[in-house]
A and B are shown apart, each in its own frame.
Chain A
Amino acid sequence: MGKPGKVVAIFVLLVALVLCPFYLDIIRLRLMTEVVYYSLYAVSLNMILGYGGLLSFGHSAYFGVGAYVTAIALLRIKGLGLLPAILAGGLSAAVIGSFFSIFLIRVSGTYFAMLTLAFNQLLYAVALKWRPVTGGDDGLGGFSIPDLHLPWIGKIDMLDTSNFFWFTLVVIGVMLLFAWHITRTPLGISILLLRENEERAQFLGHQTSLTRFWLLTLASFFAGISGSMFALFQEFVATSAIDVLKSIDGLLMVIIGGVGNFFGPLLGSLFYIIVGDWLSRVTEHWEFFIGCFFIVLVLFFRGGLVGLLAGAQDRLLKALVHPRGEAAP
C-alpha cells in the first residue's frame, strides 16, 4: 500500500472512530472509550520499551498515580474543572516519573526491570496502606465527571456516554499526536539511540542519562493522562489501577500490537480490550487463553499484530504481483 493508500485508510478509520456513538450501543461505546484511553497507556509504555529499549515492567505506577491524583483532586477540591483534574493527574505522574528516573538512569537490562518492578510495588503498597488518602483496599469513589466548560459553547455534560467518548477521543488524540511528533524530533532520535547503541551515542556526544530522564518523564506524563481518563470513566479508583496486573496489561497490549512500532500499541489496545471482553463473555478462563496467546506471540510472532499484518501484506503483494511465483523483474 503506497503513501496515499495509507492516508486514505487512516482517514477512513478515523471517521469510523468518530462516528462510533452513532452505530454502537452504550456497552460497546464504553468499551471503545476504554480502547482509546488505554491506547495512550500502551503507546507511553512502547516509548520506553520499544523506542528506548528499556525494560519498563512497572509502568502502571504512573497510570495509577494519574488515576489516584485525579480522583483525590476531584474529591477534595470543590468545583475543580475537568481539564485541571486531568492535567493534575498527568503532571503528578510526570513528577513521580522524573523522580524515579534519577535512580533508573543508573541501571540497565534486567536490573532496570527489577527496579521498575520495585518502584511499582512501592507505590502499590502506599496506595494499599494510606487509607486516609487513597481509601486503602476499598478504593476511592463518590466523584463524578465534571462538566466540560467550553468558551462560546457553554457546558457539556460529560456523564453522557457519547460526549465523554468524543472528549476522550480529543484528549487522547492530542496526546497521541504529540507522542507521534516527538518520534520525529531530535529527542525522538536520541531515544532511539538508547536502544540501538547507547555506548556509541555517548561517543557521539549524547548524555544518555539526560535522554533517559526526558523519556521517562514524558512517558510517565502520558501514562498519567491515560490513568486520569480511566479514573473519570470508571468514577472509581482502587489498587487495581497501580498493581502488577495493570503493568502486565500494558505489556500485553504493547507486545500483542508489536513493540517498537508506533501503531502497534494502538492495535494491541484494540485487540486486548475487544477480544478480552469477548473472550470473558465466552469463557470463564479467558485469562488462560490470553496467556497462551501471549506465549505463542513471544515464541513465534515477536513482531506482534503489526508484524503479522506486514508479513501478510508482503505475501499478499507478492501473490498479486507475481501470481505464479515468477521471479521479480
Chain B
Amino acid sequence: MTFILETQSIFHDFKGLEVLFDINLGIQEGERHAVIGPNGAGKTTLFNLITGKYRPTRGAVFLDGKEITSRPIPWRARNGLARSFQITNLFPRLTVFQSLRTAVLSRRGIRLNPIVNVGRMKDVNEEVESLLERIGLEDQRDVPAGMLAYGQQRALEIGLTLALRPRVMLLDEPTAGMSTDETREVVELIRRVTEGMTLVIIEHDMEVVFDLAERITVLHYGRILASGPKESIREDPRVKEAYLGEEDFACTFKSTD
C-alpha cells in the first residue's frame, strides 16, 4: 500500500516557535482527503512544507515513494504536486487567458523559449480555451486577474492549479470568504475537475469537507488529533472532546447527518 504523498515525522518550528509535531500523513493515489482544524493549527504550514516553500526542521516528505524534502518549489510543481492559495495569489495585470496560458506553457516545459510567438502556439491556446470552459470563466478571458470578482478569482486559482495537470492537487481553503451559493458552485467545480485526481483540501466549512472528502485528518495545535475515514472522524470522541464548546464545529458535525 504505497502512498502517493507521504510525510514522515515532520516537525517544524518558526523562529523558535514550534508549529508542527510529529506529522505522519499518508495519502493514497486517487484519495480525496481533507485537513481540518482551528486557525493556527498548522494546516497551511503543512501545505507549505509539502509544496516546498519551507524545509521541515525535521522529517521527510515523499512523493510516489521518492523523497522530495529538499526539492525546490518549481521542481515539485513540475513533478505532479500543485497547490492553490488561501489568500488569492494571482498575476494582477495578466488576463485570465494569459494567466492560464502561463500555467499551460509551464506544464509543457516551455518557459524560456525566446523564439516562438505565443500567439501562434495553437495547441497551447486550445488547451487554455478548454481550461477556460472547465472553470467557467470564458466570459472573463480578457479581464485582468486583479479586476475579477472574488468568486471568479478563486475559480482562477483552481484553474491555475488544474492547468498543471497535477497528480496531487492541494487546495488551501478554496471556499474562503464565500457565500453559500458561491460555495456550492466552487464545490461543484472542484468535484468536476478533480475527478480521478488525488485531492488534498484544507477547509473550515464542514459541509464542504463531508461533501468532497473520503478521509479526514484533524490537526490540533500542530499535532494530528485523529486521521481516518470521515465517518469514524465524525464519531471520534477525541475530536468531539476537542471541539466541544466550539459552537460551529459541533453544530456542523450534527447538521451533516
Q: Do chains A and B touch in the complex (CB under 8 A)?
A: yes
A316 CB, min distance to chain B CBs, angstroms: 24
Cβ contact within 8 Å between B115 and A185: yes
Contact of A204 with B by CB under 8 A:
yes
Alpha-carbon distance between A121 and B186 when the two chains are bound, in angstroms: 54
Mark out the residues of chain B between 59 and 116 whose CB falls within 8 Å of any chain A CB in the assembled complex: 72-74, 77-78, 82-83, 85, 89-94, 98, 101-103, 105-107, 110-116
Contact of B245 with A by CB under 8 A:
no
Query: In the complex, which residues of chain B have a beta carbon less than 8 angstroms from the beta carbon of A187?
Result: 111-114
Contact of A108 with B by CB under 8 A:
no
Mark out the residues of chain A between 204 and 224 whose CB falls within 8 Å of any chain B CB in the assembled complex: 204-208, 210-211, 214, 218
Contact of B164 with A by CB under 8 A:
yes
Alpha-carbon distance between A185 and B93 when the two chains are bound, in angstroms: 17
Cβ contact within 8 Å between A203 and B98: no
Query: In the complex, which residues of chain B have a beta carbon less than 8 angstroms from the beta carbon of A211?
Result: 111-112
CB closest chain-B residue, reference A260: B93
Cβ contact within 8 Å between B112 and A203: no
Contact of A190 with B by CB under 8 A:
yes
Cβ contact within 8 Å between B89 and A186: no
Contact of B119 with A by CB under 8 A:
yes
Interface size on B, residues (CB 8 A): 35
Cβ contact within 8 Å between B105 and A186: yes
Alpha-carbon distance between A185 and B164 when the two chains are bound, in angstroms: 19
Q: Tell which of A181, A190, A192, A199 touches B112, judged by Cβ atoms closer than 8 Å.
A: A190
Provided the pairs A184-B117, A184-B118 are in contact, do residues A205 and B78 lie with their beta carbons within 8 angstroms?
yes
Mark out the residues of chain B between 30 and 75 whose CB falls within 8 Å of any chain A CB in the assembled complex: 51, 72-74
Query: In the complex, which residues of chain B have a beta carbon less than 8 angstroms from the beta carbon of A218?
Result: 114
Contact of B160 with A by CB under 8 A:
yes
CB closest chain-B residue, reference A189: B102
Cβ contact within 8 Å between B93 and A203: no
Q: Tell which of B89, B93, B101, B118 touches A200, judged by Cβ atoms closer than 8 Å.
A: B89
Alpha-carbon distance between A218 and B113 when the two chains are bound, in angstroms: 13
Alpha-carbon distance between A188 and B94 when the two chains are bound, in angstroms: 13
Cβ contact within 8 Å between B93 and A196: yes
Q: Tell which of A192, A193, A205, A210 touches B77, judged by Cβ atoms closer than 8 Å.
A: A205
Alpha-carbon distance between A208 and B107 when the two chains are bound, in angstroms: 15
Provided the pairs A206-B74, A214-B112 are in contact, do residues A197 and B89 lie with their beta carbons within 8 angstroms?
yes
Query: In the complex, which residues of chain A have a beta carbon less than 8 angstroms from the beta carbon of B83?
Result: 203
Cβ contact within 8 Å between B74 and A205: yes
Alpha-carbon distance between A185 and B105 when the two chains are bound, in angstroms: 11
Interface string of A264-295 (1 = CB under 8 A from B): 00000000000000000000000000000000
Mark out the residues of chain B between 117 and 132 whose CB falls within 8 Å of any chain A CB in the assembled complex: 117-119
Contact of A182 with B by CB under 8 A:
yes
Contact of A201 with B by CB under 8 A:
yes
Q: Tell which of B72, B89, B102, B107 touches A193, judged by Cβ atoms closer than 8 Å.
A: B102
Query: In the complex, which residues of chain B have a beta carbon less than 8 angstroms from the beta carbon of A182?
Result: 114
Query: In the complex, which residues of chain A have a beta carbon less than 8 angstroms from the beta carbon of B116?
Result: 185-186
Cβ contact within 8 Å between A196 and B91: yes
Provided the pairs A204-B106, A206-B74 are in contact, do residues A185 and B92 lie with their beta carbons within 8 angstroms?
no
Provided the pairs A186-B105, A210-B112 are in contact, do residues A200 and B91 lie with their beta carbons within 8 angstroms?
yes
Cβ contact within 8 Å between B74 and A186: no
Cβ contact within 8 Å between A196 and B94: yes
Indicate the member of B74, B111, B118 with the most A CB atoms within 10 Å: B111
Contact of A202 with B by CB under 8 A:
yes
Q: Tell which of A185, A190, A199 touches B89, judged by Cβ atoms closer than 8 Å.
A: A199
A96 CB, min distance to chain B CBs, angstroms: 20
A156 CB, min distance to chain B CBs, angstroms: 31
Provided the pairs A196-B92, A199-B89, A203-B83 are in contact, do residues A185 and B113 lie with their beta carbons within 8 angstroms?
yes
Q: Tell which of B74, B101, B118, B160 touches A202, judged by Cβ atoms closer than 8 Å.
A: B74
Query: In the complex, which residues of chain A have a beta carbon less than 8 angstroms from the beta carbon of B164?
Result: 204-205
Cβ contact within 8 Å between B115 and A192: no
Alpha-carbon distance between A267 and B232 when the two chains are bound, in angstroms: 68
Alpha-carbon distance between A186 and B103 when the two chains are bound, in angstroms: 11
CB closest chain-A residue, reference B110: A186
Alpha-carbon distance between A190 and B110 when the two chains are bound, in angstroms: 10
Alpha-carbon distance between A203 and B89 when the two chains are bound, in angstroms: 10
Cβ contact within 8 Å between A206 and B113: no
Query: In the complex, which residues of chain B have a beta carbon less than 8 angstroms from the beta carbon of A210?
Result: 111-112
Q: What are 20 inter-chain pairs, A to B, with CB distance below 8 A? A: A184-B119, A185-B113, A185-B115, A185-B116, A185-B117, A187-B113, A189-B105, A196-B91, A197-B92, A203-B51, A203-B73, A203-B74, A204-B102, A205-B107, A205-B164, A206-B74, A206-B111, A207-B72, A210-B112, A211-B112
The 9 A-B pairs with the shortest beta carbon distances in the complex, nearest first, are A196-B91, A205-B77, A205-B106, A205-B78, A187-B114, A186-B113, A202-B73, A207-B74, A186-B110
